[in-house]
Structure 1
């Protein structure tokens, strides 16, 4: 397909420009996106159209979209190796979603667990877009002929729907879409809340000490680590039944790149206070370059807007070619 980097598997990833980026977003997705840039032909999308399934302030959404672009660049997304753009800048996303909508059974869409979850959280704004969200997500992926999609466990169902609709479309109308496969990281895909280790770390959680954000000050990081929920047991070991401690140890494991045996040996005979102080130090050191890069990018007036527009221009021919093929196959000419 048009634009594919020779010899590299094309991978599509999307992230919403709502809230602030926290460790869960970083470890579960962004860090791995950065590290995969030599391996894959990566297309990264700021999915602002998805964001409006819940009510957004227009000015805030616009600002957050550009802030997220700056954050991704600060984390290490390299525009010479990857493509980064804002979803709404390419009209084919919404256009292909309509074609897919007309080829997805209501029953398939009704089974989507995220719709049920988001509906229960926002009972006053259960809109058609929220219900059809998976069709737009499928369009995002299929437009670029992506063969891989990094997903957390909570997104696997949406990717299965994408695979199903693409397979049916190819069968019923003719070859059009690449069938994408999930790429699921072994660790870091599901970082839990520091105050609620039974729940996934979330941008929307209200607790002051729930999440560590990438732009948190060193003082805030120390405070949040100190207050992180553990348990009343002894011994700092990787034990999944001890949810709070296990979550913190997994975070430490990813940032230090030490083996679990080495980490357990490092903290043998030591208490939670010692471990939490060490974790805070690692986080402060690891996140400092991101904070500094972000501040530098924000000082360069107009730079982020220009880079994101260049990214859209780079991938637009791929989207146009795929949509034109789908449009012709269903008779929309």
Structure 2
């Protein structure tokens, strides 16, 4: 039997916990913007239900949800070309998440490395949601029959789990209903690292604000952080192999490449042999040029939360139009009387 033809559709989301960083922009949001208007229908979400796997202050959650939406919009996500909403507005995410909890196997969950990293030695005391959230992530994706998911390397395992859940559902119920979603991992700055320690990922929760570029930073802060970013005494090499044991240097080159829409090799072709006295000011100038307008627009949007909420509700209405028939068909396939 021929496989069904699924609409080429992208789904991805960002969790509203803490603030947005340059890592969110280069690793996710910039790519989301680039995928608009191409061969895919694009659906982007603020995954607020994932945020509560660890306790959140209600006020902080409301603020962070709107801030992520503002980050999407300020970076160029167009609500007329993409669907933009927050996850909790579409109840199908939670409903399909429960159905998938009954499809996924405990052994699959036990292999999820992110749970082990986040729970650490405290695994007995974390929420059940933190353990099971990859199943909800699968529901986020498959509720829209998404065929492609742009993710960072650290989330690839969860998309593979999504494929396993889809395959088991299709096998168990003898249907070809859910697509085998493809993770999309590409680009020079997929994993943006800490400005003080190039072996650690740039994080919202790092100890020092100087470790990261926040998407809300103004031009002066952005320039200062890049000028003070940790480097080494050696000049830049002319080829990427020369950065193998130089994590901070590699990180700054990758950031430049991501902001300039260049390959890292092209950056080194231009700056190879140069010292940091030329490269860091050039990087700071580029970053201010690209990021300061986003920061300013985010501030403007956050001054009008009702407008952000209106945009997300309009997006949720569009999302429900796609999701509800898929959810109803899932219930039907599984034998529920509706």
1:265 positional shift: 4.7
CA distance in 2, matches of 1:126, 1:273: 47
Whether the 8 Å contact between 1:195 and 1:207 is mirrored in structure 2 is no
How does 1:29-108 map onto structure 2 within 5 Å? 29-39=28-38, 40-108=40-108
Residue 274 in structure 1 maps to residue 278 in structure 2:
yes
Question: What is the CA–CA distance in structure 2 between the aligned matches of 1:228 and 1:43, rounded to whole Å?
Answer: 35
Q: Counterpart in 2 of 1:128?
A: 128
**2:94·2:136 contact (CA, 8 Å) conserved in 1?**
yes
2:66/2:302 contact within 8 Å kept: no
Give me the CA root mean square deviation. Answer: 2.0
Q: Distance in 1 between matches of 2:149 and 2:58?
A: 29
Q: Deviations over 1:276-313 (max 9, x none)?
A: 11111111111122123223323445211111000000
Q: Deviations over 1:61-90 (max 9, x none)?
A: 012111211121111000111000110111
Checking the alignment, whether the CA contact within 8 Å between 1:37 and 1:81 is kept in structure 2 is: yes
1:327 aligns with: 331
Residue 244 in structure 1 maps to residue 269 in structure 2: no
TM-score, structure 2 length as denominator? 0.91
CA distance in 2, matches of 1:96, 1:108: 18
**Distance apart, 1:192 and its partner CA:** 0.8
Matched, 1:309 2:310: no
Gaps of 5+ in 1: 1-5
| 8 Å contact from structure 2 (residues 163, 181) kept in 1 | yes
Corresponding residue SS for 1:219 = helix
What are the equivalent positions in structure 2 for 1:114-153 lying under 5 Å apart?
114-120=114-120, 125-153=125-153
C-alpha displacement of 1:50: 0.3
Residue 123 of structure 1: how far off its partner (Å):
5.6
Q: 2:13: which partner in 1?
A: 14
Structure 1 contact 38–81 (Cα < 8 Å) conserved? yes
Structure 1 residue aligned with 2:230: 229
TM-score, normalised with respect to structure 1: 0.93
| 1:148–1:182 contact (8 Å) kept in structure 2 | yes
Tell me how many residue pairs correspond in the alignment.
328
Query: Are the counterparts in 1 of residues 257 and 264 from structure 2 also a CA contact under 8 Å?
Result: yes
Bigger shift: residues 76-85 or 200-209: 200-209
Go from structure 1 to structure 2 and tell me whether the alpha carbon gap of 1:301 and 1:250 turns closer, same or farther (over 3 Å shift): closer
Moved more, 35-44 or 235-244: 235-244
CA distance in 1, matches of 2:12, 2:126: 26
The whole-number CA distance in structure 2 between the counterparts of 1:18 and 1:305 is 18
> For the Cα contact (< 8 Å) 1:236–1:272, is it kept in 2?
no
Shift of 1:167: 0.8
* Cα offset, 1:96, TM superposition: 0.7
Return 5+ residue gaps in structure 2 as ranges.
none
Say whether residues 1:254 and 2:258 are aligned partners. Answer: yes
For residue 197 of structure 1, report the CA deviation from its aligned partner. 0.6
